[in-house]
Chain A
Amino acid sequence: MSQVVEAPTAGAGDDRGTGGRTGGGLHLRSLTKEFASFTAVKSLDLDIPSGSFFALLGPSGCGKTTTLRMVAGLETPTSGTITLGERDITWEKPYRRPVNTVFQNYALFPHLDIFENVAFGLRRRKRSDVKPAVEQMLALVELESQARKKPAQLSGGQQQRVALARALINNPEVLLLDEPLGALDLKLRRSMQIEIKRIQTEVGLTFVHVTHDQEEAMTMADTVAVMNAGVIEQMGAPAELYENPRTTFVANFLGQSNLIEGTVAGREGDVVKVDMQGTVVSVPSARAHLETTAGHRAWVGIRPEKVLIAEVGEVIDAPGNSIPGGVISDVSFVGVSTQYLVRMPWGQELQVFEQNTGRRRLFRTGESVDVSWRPDYAFLLDHEQDASAGTDRSDLPS
């Protein structure tokens, strides 16, 4: 279907200064935005390759939307540059940038019908082939039959698709999506995630997606940048970020983590040995994100689904770090899995998710257990960081 979308582009006839396709990706250099009372974005450096689906993930107020708005030209940076391929667009007016935005609440023009909403960008650039282009774009988002309705007559999901079509029809070099699914209910959100991902693959444009929903970011994007307090904490493929977080913020914001206090005992080859509350555990040095000299304090991190629990003394098929003395303090059976809280001898409660495969029995509250995990799954973080950073998810929808 990609030819469908390429039809209305014809970059050569474009006299609005949007230029031809540079194909060089989007580059932010020391981009800073200061407001009167705070700094929203702090000296951000970012390279987004052409054709990628990039997600900026972070809690509200982390600067992700400000970054997006600076790329769109709706906010002027305090300092730094934004380049698209070879072209510096830092100070360009929004209507001179080959960038289009899908706004958070869609911002559809209420006085124009769906057809005219989608045609808006083409009409402003005096394109002659508006009608077929709009029809093809409406077909792409499956709204052909709604062309003559006003935005208020459509459902949330349909409005979302109009907003997407209205931006995509201009064939921008970069499509910006500002929390595009935030207003939809959970089920619709899931199907739109797949839909947007499909469209991105079909049209092959660069998508920059801003969201606070970690699941949304991981499902859709090739590359996720986790942003916190105006800086990017970590960037990479979703699996890489999830499996090997570098900061406590990423460990907690992207999924959940058990962070257990320990002291580095020393290095043995590729492995860092850590004295964790009296038990020596090992962590691969590639997953140790701190100075690994002996005596350094650290957080040993392990994802709840990587932790195994077993009856005391039972030998389970997971050679690795094993810690005795746990007591089950809470059991929540959620169908696909069972979530346990295990109180450890040092007082901390560890989260454990066990897949409900039927091979293992359910434990009951009060039972004594051993917990263990494969060393390859653990990660080691700097103790200087706040263990609860990124855990406050109260602002997120479920």
Chain B
Amino acid sequence: MNGPLQRLGRWVGSHLVLAGGLLVLLYMFVPIFVVVLMSFNDPDSRLIYRFDGFTLKNWANPCAADGMCGALSRSIQIGLLATVVATLLGTLMAFALVRHRFHGRSAANLGIFLPMASPEIVMGSSLLALFVAAGFGGRLGFWTILIAHIMFCLSFVVVTVRARLAGLDDNLEQAAMDLYATEVQTFRRVTLPLVFPGILGAALLSFSLSFDDFIITNLNAGNTTTFPMYVWGVAQRGVPMQVNVVGTVMFLVSVVIVVAVEVRRRRQERVLAG
């Protein structure tokens, strides 16, 4: 009565929470595992999503899939541009909202939340209505997508940077001024370095929101295709294995960022403890 099955049963019995946690993790990682696996797949037919054989040719020629790399580079361009503009504008807005008292400040604070709270399909269709009404109906494409992305990223940037700013002791800026730093020097030497983690976080969030967006983009894209639209489009006919290469790379990039942040945090903690 001491077979491996019984031992497993006993272990699960005494580690219920851990076992549950492992199952949930497994559940979360299975799709990612499939993506990684399929990036090495050599399918016999385009119609069946089945692992038929190992190959590196998807990795060697990621752009072999028709139109994929064009959509991908468009998505990256839009993501980068939207991130830069939204982060800049959103950071300025966050400073205004935290540092200045003005008429309509609380209304502005509330208004910032509205785009985050409203359904994407509503935002997307109203934006489309706006563009058409403004006479851009025939010119939907890269720029209308960019404008839409900047718009919905903005709220997230403001909220993220504002939280960081609100936690900043304004005595620090006064101390800097007291120690002969002019307004510009105070901003450069004290405010910016302290708020920077918030700005960086906002930028990363913006990029992933923009890169990922389908609904709003699809409504305002005209004939232009972004990466999510491309994947959605080809999914009806069978997704080329190169999409999995892109998915794996994106996943690895996120892992690297998360690990880097964590390593940095632990090192700081160790310094604090030491």
A residues 135-188 near B (Cβ < 8 Å) are 150, 152-153, 166-167, 170
In the complex, which of the residues B171, B178, B182, B185 contacts A105, with contact meaning CB atoms closer than 8 Å?
B171
Q: Which residues of A contact B181 (CB under 8 A)?
A: 95, 120, 124
Not counting A120-B179, A124-B180, a sample of 7 additional A-B residue pairs whose C-beta atoms are within 8 angstroms of each other reads A73-B177, A74-B174, A95-B181, A111-B194, A125-B180, A150-B272, A152-B272
Q: Is B176 an interface residue (CB 8 A)?
A: yes
Query: How many interface residues does chain B have, given as a range?
Result: 20 to 34
In the complex, which of the residues B169, B178, B272 contacts A95, with contact meaning CB atoms closer than 8 Å?
B178
Q: Is A87 an interface residue (CB 8 A)?
A: no
Q: A109-B176, A150-B272 are in contact. Are A95 and B171 (CB under 8 A)?
A: no
Q: Are A109 and B172 in contact (CB under 8 A)?
A: yes
Q: Are B180 and A103 in contact (CB under 8 A)?
A: no
Q: Is B193 an interface residue (CB 8 A)?
A: yes
Summarize A's interface: helix, strand, loop or mixed: loop
A residues 100-123 near B (Cβ < 8 Å) are 100-101, 103-105, 107-111, 120-121
Q: Are A170 and B174 in contact (CB under 8 A)?
A: no
Q: Which of B179, B182, B185, B190 has the most CB of A within 10 A?
A: B179
Q: Which residues of A contact B175 (CB under 8 A)?
A: 101, 103, 107-109
Q: How far is the CB of B169 from chain A (nearest CB, A)?
A: 7
Q: Are A72 and B178 in contact (CB under 8 A)?
A: yes
Q: A74-B174, A105-B171 are in contact. Are A153 and B180 (CB under 8 A)?
A: no
Q: Are B271 and A150 in contact (CB under 8 A)?
A: yes
Q: Which residues of B contact A16 (CB under 8 A)?
A: 180
Q: How far is the CB of A217 from chain B (nearest CB, A)?
A: 23
Q: Are A95 and B271 in contact (CB under 8 A)?
A: no
Q: Are A109 and B178 in contact (CB under 8 A)?
A: no
Task: Point out residues on A near B: beta carbons under 8 Å.
Answer: 16, 18, 72-74, 93-95, 99-101, 103-105, 107-111, 120-121, 124-125, 150, 152-153, 166-167, 170
Q: Which residues of A contact B194 (CB under 8 A)?
A: 110-111
Closest to B186 in A: A95
Can you spell out 20 A-B residue pairs with CB atoms less than 8 angstroms apart? Answer: A18-B180, A74-B174, A95-B181, A95-B182, A101-B178, A103-B175, A107-B169, A107-B171, A107-B174, A107-B175, A108-B175, A110-B172, A111-B193, A120-B179, A121-B179, A124-B181, A124-B185, A125-B180, A150-B272, A170-B180
Closest to B177 in A: A94
Q: Are A166 and B179 in contact (CB under 8 A)?
A: yes
Q: How far is the CB of A123 from chain B (nearest CB, A)?
A: 9
Q: Which residues of B contact A107 (CB under 8 A)?
A: 169, 171-172, 174-175
Q: Which residues of B contact A150 (CB under 8 A)?
A: 271-272
Q: Which residues of B contact A74 (CB under 8 A)?
A: 174, 177-178
Q: Which residues of B contact A125 (CB under 8 A)?
A: 180
Q: Which residues of B contact A111 (CB under 8 A)?
A: 193-194
Q: How far is the CB of B179 from chain A (nearest CB, A)?
A: 4
The contact string, 1 if C-beta is below 8 Å from chain A, for chain B 154-195, is: 000000000000000101101111111110010001100110
Q: Which residues of A contact B176 (CB under 8 A)?
A: 109, 120
Distance in angstroms between the alpha carbons of A95 and B272 in the assembled complex: 32
Q: Are B190 and A109 in contact (CB under 8 A)?
A: yes
Distance in angstroms between the alpha carbons of A152 and B178 in the assembled complex: 21
Q: Which residues of B contact A104 (CB under 8 A)?
A: 171
Q: Are A105 and B180 in contact (CB under 8 A)?
A: no
The contact string, 1 if C-beta is below 8 Å from chain A, for chain B 231-274, is: 00000000000000000000000000000000000000001101
Distance in angstroms between the alpha carbons of A356 and B175 in the assembled complex: 48
Q: Which residues of A contact B172 (CB under 8 A)?
A: 107, 109-110
Q: How far is the CB of B177 from chain A (nearest CB, A)?
A: 4
Q: Are B272 and A103 in contact (CB under 8 A)?
A: no
Closest 7 CB pairs of A and B: A107-B175, A121-B179, A107-B171, A124-B180, A94-B177, A95-B180, A101-B178
